[in-house]
Amino acid sequence: MTSKKRVIVMPVPAQGHVKPLMLLSHKLVKHGLRVTFVNTEFNHNKILSGMGVDDDTAGFGSEIEMVSIPDGLGSMADRTDEDLICDLVWGESILPAEFEKLITTINNGTGGSPDDIISCVVSDYFLSWPLEIAAKLGVKAAVFFPSAAALFLYTMNIPKLIQDGIITSDGKPTKQQMIQLSSGVPTIDTSKLPWNIGNPATQKVVFRGFVNACQSLKMTDWWLCNTSHDIEPLVFSLLPKLLPIGPLMASIDNSPLDIPGSQFWAEDSSCLSWLDQHKPHSVIYIAFGSSTFHDQVQYHELARGLELIGMPFLWVVRPGFILSKQKNGLELYGFESNSNNNNLGKIVNWAPQQKVLSHPAIACFVSHCGWNSTLEGLSNGVPFLTWPYFADQFMDESYICDIWKVGMKFEPNERGIVTSEEVKNKVDKLLLDKDIRRRSLEFKEMIMKSISKDGQSSENVNNLVKWIKET
């Protein structure tokens, strides 16, 4: 019996980071490796609850082991608070010590069996300490970047941005301006830099995390990125060492759900049979990811806009999405959660998004422009209406609307509200734009080629696995 090397995978404890690293884990397993996947205890329990199981290996077999480490936060801590989570990831926390303890415990408990010890650490780029721990323990390591390669490029250029006087040594912009590192690379408004998260103190912590992550790259030669060379060619011409291995996606099979172990909420697969009742390109899909919040006013404007359009829609409204103490308020427009309204719309708490976007009924995707959502929409040839919220989402919007030209931007009014009229007008305009539809399908074909058996992303995964398996 051939032994299988064991890899330990450590993501940032957030939905948008856990999902791509779990997708990579499943891909590694298919290539003959074993994976120990690490979540915080809170997220670990949330994922198992979303799967409807209490067995850590349910749905995985023996090749992916889900384990957890404590985050040191109290039981009453609000783990949706971005300042708290940012401080957990980039500030002083017990996570590094707990991660090192986990590896040491595993390796010491194997009796020295080469089949069971950790052979490689695969670390989320935004966590610098797993690479340091791997080096300390003499374990090989690879770093995984879960966002666009363009963000990696901007991160690598932080010293130059400081030197050129664009930002201070704390990451604050010296003035508001649009910047672009190179032609063909997304622009950034300096007021919306990717480390501009939370309050000023949190922004400093996050920026320091970006800087530390960049400096830790010297600890490994394997820089992996969840993207395709063909969709970011100019970035890769500037970063030849960065290896695209994506887009990482779940296999299209008979399961109504996306990849097991990657979701914080239970997926409502009833939306797929609901989509089956609709004609091709007839349904608007609206989803804002795991971290976006809208207040009651904005929420109602979007609901009224959907009513004005009059097209069928599928809307993901996760628990806590609306910043209001009131009930969700959809009943004001005749929409009721998890039900149909004369077949006009359906609301779900969470959806198997890749399955939804691959459905022929989907006409367009109203998105927050998270990188996972961006890749899933692009991979399925679906035009976008963009509504970024924070971090790298504005850069992704620049790709979608300015460089790839596969979507249109919503423009908020002077009060920062995207009005119902703006929603209706942009949806109508997008659906009449045949060039956007054509380009969307061209990008779908481009991506499918990159992840085909002989595609560049697939070859890079093969080389990664070969390196891990080397003694």
pLDDT in tens, 254-274: 555 566 777 777 889 999 999
pLDDT recorded at residue 112? 53
pLDDT band at 253 (very low <50, low <70, confident <90, very high): low
Q: Give residue 2's pLDDT band: very low, low, confident or very high (50, 70, 90).
A: low
The CATH number corresponding to 270-448 among 3.40.50.2000, 3.40.50.10070, 3.40.50.300, 3.30.450.20 equals 3.40.50.2000
Fold agreement between 6-249+452-469 and 270-448: yes
Least confident of 50-59, 240-249, 325-334, 362-371: 325-334
Give percent of the chain with pLDDT exceeding 90. 71
- Judge whether residue 113 has pLDDT over 70: no
- Its pTM stands at 0.91
pLDDT of residue 372: 95
DSSP 24: H
For residue 343, the tally of other CB atoms under 10 A from its CB is 10
Please write the tens of the pLDDT for every residue from 389-405.
988 999 999 999 999 99
End-to-end CA gap in the chain? 17
pLDDT band at 3 (very low <50, low <70, confident <90, very high): confident
Q: What is the pLDDT of residues 315-363, one digit of tens each?
A: 999 876 776 544 444 443 455 444 444 458 999 999 999 999 999 999 9
State CA 13 to chain mean position distance. Answer: 12
Report the distance separating Cα 461 and Cα 227, nearest Å.
12
How far apart, in whole angstroms, are the C-alpha atoms of residue 467 and residue 334?
57
Domain ranges of the chain: 6-249+452-469, 270-448
pLDDT of 294? 80
The dihedrals phi and psi of 295, each to the nearest 5 degrees, come to: -80, 175
Q: Is the pLDDT higher at 293 or at 21?
A: 21
Element (H, E) at 427: helix 420-432
| Polymer length in residues for the chain | 471
Is the pLDDT at 292 greater than 90? The verdict is no
pLDDT at position 61 is 57
Determine the pLDDT at residue 421: 97
Q: Tell me, what's the pLDDT at 85? A: 83
452 conformational bin, left if phi > 0, alpha if psi -120 to 50, beta if neither:
beta
| Residue 446 neighbours by CB distance under 10 Å | 16
Per-residue pLDDT, 325: 45
pLDDT at 289: 83
Rg (CA), the chain: 22
- Three-class SS of residue 176? coil
Q: Higher-confidence residue: 59 or 346? A: 346
Which one is the CATH code of 6-249+452-469: 3.40.50.170, 3.40.605.10, 3.30.70.260, 3.40.50.2000? 3.40.50.2000
**Helix ranges, 359-416 (H):** 371-379, 393-398
Query: Across the chain, what does the average pLDDT equal?
Result: 89
